[in-house]
Structure 1
Amino acid sequence: MASLSIRRRFNLKSRLDREAAVVPEEFRCPISLEMMRDPVTAATGITYDRLSIEVWLGMDNSTCPVTGREIAGGVEGELVPNHTLRKMIQDWCVANRSLGVERIPTPKIPVTDADVAGALSEIAAASRRGEGPRCARVAARVRRWARESERNRVRILSHGACAALVAALCAVATEHAEEILAALAAISPLDEVAARAAAASPAALRFLARTLKQGTTLAARGNAAWMLRQMVAASRGGGWRAVAETEGMVEALAETVRRPVSSAATKAALVCIMQAARGSEAAAGRAVEAGAVEAAVEMAAEAGERSTCEKALGSLEAMARWEVGRRRARGHALAVPVLVKKMFRVSELSTELAVSALLRLCSGGGDEEEEKRRCAVEAVEGGAFQKLLLLLQVGCSDEAREWATNLLRLLNGYRQRNECIDSMDLKGLKRPI
């Protein structure tokens, strides 16, 4: 019976192999040799899949791959949709559906330069008149275009869409601006000029803080976090000051970390907190009071993704530069264990951040000596001394080496009472301590 069952399965497989749909040669793109999904005909009369020929022309090729003749206009040259062939391919897909062939969707027509220029001009005019609803409608159109294809997104960016949309955001900083924010996120990234303009606009900053905290949708809150990160990263120092000095902004960022909207929004909020806390004691204090220390510790402890862990450690280290942050971190039961654990578990950057933060918790001027001693004892009990020795042995950056050496000296006084090092673990070490 078993052999009969095997034979039946073999016969079924053979029959399916014989009946597998074979794509007709005329449906295949001459470049990719795959079935065309959006057939377009070049001026040379040869039909290609749109994506394949655009990639070819975008690589500074100016000739037809089949005929070798010049294609005028390069990637911006005229590619005429071959509707007849596309309909034949779709009909063939439907006819072979029983063999597992899926019908290709009807492709969207790429946006034209005139379309983009007209939309941006309309947004500019509407924002000057303060027509929020109209700005939102046109921004929604731009966002839809950008999401349809990479070509559309690049074309929209080439027309200076970032500057136009940021100007509209600054002028119409109401709930209607959420659609403008969504359009900006769709054509990401934000350029330098647009980032500086947004960071310099009190109205835009207040809108972002408000949206981050109580946006009408989770997507709007996530887009606000994205926008703030773009401003911090691209505006040459002005971004973190704008974040630090805007009322309610740091608190809203801390809330985004404590109650995540999305992974991307959490990481963006952590970066903003890190930059603001590094540059401003007042901003660090507000973040601490909003629960950012506890959120960063728990995020670092639970993060399964390296990038998230690095950003959580970065924001914790930034807040630990100030006494208010050190005091709060020392009061969290997981802070020291997490920092010790992450020394070798994630990445080189995480190691540096963990060592720096731990050094600040175990030392730091103007703090209570008893709390510093308690952190040092806890670090030794967790195995920090051994990990620091190994770090110096395997190598690290000059800055991390200095931090590790200083921390070793500090922890050495607590090592005898709280020894956790097996001498065999250090057998291969050549450096004297």
Structure 2
Amino acid sequence: MSSLWRRRRGGKSNRRDEINSGREVRVPTHFQCPISLELMKDPVSLATGITYDRESIDKWLDAGNVTCPVTNQVLRNSDQIPNHALRKMIQEWCVDNKSHGVERIPTPRVPINPYEVSDICSRMAAAVRGGDDRKCRELLTKIKNWAKESDRNRRCLVEKGIGAEMMEALARFSMEKHADLLKEMLSALTWSFPLGVSKLKSPATLRCMARFLMGDDLASRRDAILVLKELLINSDDGASVVEGLMGIEETLFQVVKVPICPRTTQACLVIIHHMMMVSDEKMRSRFVQLGLLALLLDILVDGHASKKACEKALAVLDEMCSSEQGKESAWGNALTIPILVKKILRVSDRATESCVSSLWKVCLGGNEEGLVEAVAVGAFQKLLVLLQLGCAAKTKEKASELLKFMNVYTNKVQCFDSSMGFKYVKSPA
């Protein structure tokens, strides 16, 4: 369907304007993108000779398609040649129809190519090795401007590994002399994934990240958390990373306690979860002593918390309950079991697995009171429904074992509907 523009009225209009006010301007067919059917802003031609708007064909190719949308021919390459002649014709048409409210299409910026990115990566590496902070700042400004122009530019920068070169700067420049430059580098790294993981794991880089985490600048702390989250997710040796970050537990706790933004809180929970998984029981005990359990339960009780935040909070809670001190802390809080039961089948499959696993750790092993309380808040019925709907093998095994022990108390305990909230639960001391 052709795009239509109606003339915009403004101020006084003469007789001719009044006649033209009802006219519709139809976009010529050869000015329309075959994919979006909209006026092309940046026409480019493929090897098949068909011209598309750059944004539309980029989306087509990014989706994994390898054919020309019009001819259905397999593309020998994905080169896009700007069709300058057609663009000038479109711009002239826009000028001719200005009186009808058609705005001129600005001349688009030419996207960067891999050769330009490779060149700037080499120059950045040389500037970092030479300790030339002025040159690094100049190149970083150019990189950031390229990234702002289009998603295509940003993808090209990331694919060529610009993030790894910026990470090298964190290891080589000192915080005392080059703090502002390092902050800018860190900010740029938040969109430069995947990063050079090997360079991120260097002791000097990790020390720099730790200093940002424990600093007073909230923006830099946020950026450091986002970068570290990606590192831990993609690293095949999380233990060495965590070892280089020892001492940041209280900072992470404070980020959860006094949130910077939802995205940062979620990233922080991911970091804590990985730290617990790859470390010994002392790490879990450290977070228990700081009071992390109460913060996790606050997130889960909060009706405005996102599903992602709840999912990550439940994963951390489950990992915390893997230690004896964690289980004692969880059992000592009156909200733990009611919340775990309520969240079963309410958030996501992964969250349900975490809930069942946490209940299994807290209630079994001689904790008769825990089993009784779980039955009282409806755990028996929810676990039965879970088994009927189906779940992962490990979750099924734990749910079956919980049902076996809970069955003894089903006829002896007055049950409450956990979906009704926690008004009947006594607040923890």
After TM superposition, the score normalised by the length of structure 2 is 0.78
Mapping for residues 167-186 of structure 1, pairs under 5 Å: 167-172=168-173, 174=175, 175=179, 176-186=181-191
The letter for the 1-side match of 2:66 is D
Shift of 1:234: 1.1
CA contact 1:254–1:292 (8 Å) conserved in 2 = yes
Aligned residue for 1:315, secondary structure, equals: helix
**1:182, 1:223 within 8 Å by CA — same for their partners in 2?**
yes
| Counterpart pick for 1:411 among 396, 400, 406 | 406
**CA, structure 1 residues 19+134, in 2 after alignment: closer, same or farther (shift >3 Å)?**
same
Give the match for residue 195 of structure 1.
197
Contact residue 91 and residue 104 of structure 2 kept, 8 A: no
For residue 34 of structure 1, what is the aligned residue in structure 2? 38
Residues 152-210 of structure 1 deviation map (CA, whole Å, 9 limit, x = unaligned): 123223423233222223223633222222322223333xxx12331x22222222233
Q: 2:299 is matched with which residue?
A: 299
Change (3 A) 1:80 1:143: same
Which is further off, 23-32 or 309-318? 23-32
CA distance 1:74–1:419, shift in 2 (3 Å): same
1:81 Cα shift?
4.3
What SS class does the counterpart of residue 78 from structure 2 fall into? Answer: helix
Aligned CA distance change for structure 1 residues 244 and 256 (closer, same or farther; 3 Å): farther
Measure, in 1, the Cα distance between the counterparts of 2:61 and 2:375: 61
Q: Deviations over 1:127-149 (max 9, x none)?
A: 11333454344234223322322
Q: Which runs of 5+ in 1 are unaligned?
A: 1-14, 423-433
Distance 1:91 1:333 in 2: 71
**Distance in 1 between residues matched to 2:383 and 2:61, nearest whole Å:** 53
Moved more, 321-330 or 22-31: 22-31
Report if the CA contact (8 A) 2:288-2:320 is conserved.
yes
1:40/1:79 contact within 8 Å kept: yes
The reply on whether 1:125 has 2:129 as its aligned counterpart is no
Preserved contact between residue 214 and residue 251 of structure 2 (Cα < 8 Å): yes
Equivalent in the alignment of 1:239:
238
Please say if 1:273 is aligned against 2:272: yes
Match of 1:60 among 40, 50, 66: 66
Task: Report if aligned partners of 1:132, 1:177 keep a CA contact under 8 Å in 2.
Answer: no
- 1:334 aligns to what? 335
Report how far residue 340 of structure 1 moved: 0.8
Q: What residue number does 1:397 align with?
A: 392
Alignment partner, residue 149 of structure 1: 150
Compared CA separation, residues 183 and 89, structure 1 to 2 (3 A):
farther
Give the structure 1 partner of residue 10 of structure 2.
none
Alpha-carbon separation, structure 2, partners of 1:77 and 1:172:
40
The number of residues matched between the two structures is 390
Q: Does 1:75 align with 2:78?
A: yes
Contact 1:90-1:103 at 8 Å conserved across structures: yes
1:124 deviates by: 0.9
* Residue 50 of structure 1: aligned partner: 54
C-alpha distance 173-225 of structure 1, shift in aligned 2 (>3 A): farther
Q: Which segments of 5 or more consecutive residues in structure 2 lack a partner in the other structure?
A: 1-18, 418-429
Q: Which deviates the most, 203-212 or 312-321?
A: 203-212
| Alpha-carbon contact 1:93-1:104 (below 8 Å) kept | no
Deviation at 1:313, TM superposition (A): 0.4
**Identity, % of aligned pairs?**
36
Q: Give the superposition deviation at 1:307.
A: 2.3
Partner of residue 381, structure 2: 386
Shift of 1:48: 3.6
Partners of 1:116 and 1:156 within 8 A in 2: yes
1:297-336 per-residue CA deviation (whole Å, 9 max, x = no partner) reads: 2222325433222111001101111122223323333222
In the alignment, the residues of structure 2 paired with residue 43 and residue 88 of structure 1 have an alpha-carbon distance, to the nearest angstrom, of 26
| Cα distance, 1:320–1:140 mapped onto 2, change above 3 Å | farther
Structure 1 range deviating more: 306-315 or 102-111 = 102-111
- Structure 1 stretches of 4+ with a deviation exceeding 6 A read 42-46
Aligned residues: CA RMSD: 3.5
Distance 1:159 1:245, change over 3 A: closer
State the Cα distance separating 1:20 from its structure 2 match: 4.7
Q: Matches of 1:150 and 1:245 in 2, distance apart?
A: 34
Counterpart for residue 429 of structure 1: none
The structure-2 alpha-carbon separation of the partners of 1:17 and 1:333, relative to structure 1 and needing over 3 Å to count, comes to: farther
> 1:165 is paired with a residue of what secondary structure?
helix
> What SS class does the counterpart of residue 278 from structure 1 fall into?
helix
In structure 2, the CA distance between the partners of 1:374 and 1:50, relative to structure 1 (3 Å rule), is: same
Against the structure 1 CA distance between its residues 284 and 140, is the aligned structure 2 distance closer, same or farther, given a 3 Å change threshold?
Answer: farther
1:22 lines up with 2:36 in the alignment: no
TM-score (norm 1): 0.77
1:11 paired residue number: none
Aligned partners of 1:51, 1:248: CA distance in 2, in Å?
46
How far apart are residue 373 of structure 1 and its match?
A: 4.5
